[in-house]
Amino acid sequence: MFFVATRATLSISSTAFDKARVVIARNGVLTIRNNDRRPYVLTIGATALTIKAKTSATIKIPQRGTFPIACAKWPALTASLVVK
């Protein structure tokens, strides 16, 4: 049997994510940690999320699917979220 975590963390450093893909269980919690000195405005699927410098934000993901994570200002800052 395959275990899917209910919590995951994705970190930003030097305008890059530490992982290209994150997998969590439905109704799981994704924490995005911003280690940079600038804020980021991210979209996770259709949800917008602003993360201030040197802070983190947490979002609960209630829906299964694969969702792109992208930054409005830094087009190379991308990842994907897979919710099982």
**By the 8 A CB rule, do 25 and 2 touch?**
no
Task: Assess contact for 24 and 2: CB atoms under 8 A.
Answer: no
Q: Tell me what pLDDT residue 71 has.
A: 96
Q: What is the pLDDT of residues 35-45, one digit of tens each?
A: 999 999 999 99
Q: Give me the pLDDT at residue 23, please.
A: 96
Looking at domain 7-83, its CATH architecture is Sandwich (2.60)
Angstrom distance (rounded) from CA 78 to CA 63: 20
pLDDT tens digits, 18-33: 999 999 999 999 999 9
pLDDT band at 3 (very low <50, low <70, confident <90, very high): confident
Q: Is the confidence at residue 61, as pLDDT, over 90?
A: yes
Alpha carbon 28 to chain centroid, angstroms:
12
Q: How far apart are CA 41 and CA 44, in angstroms?
A: 10
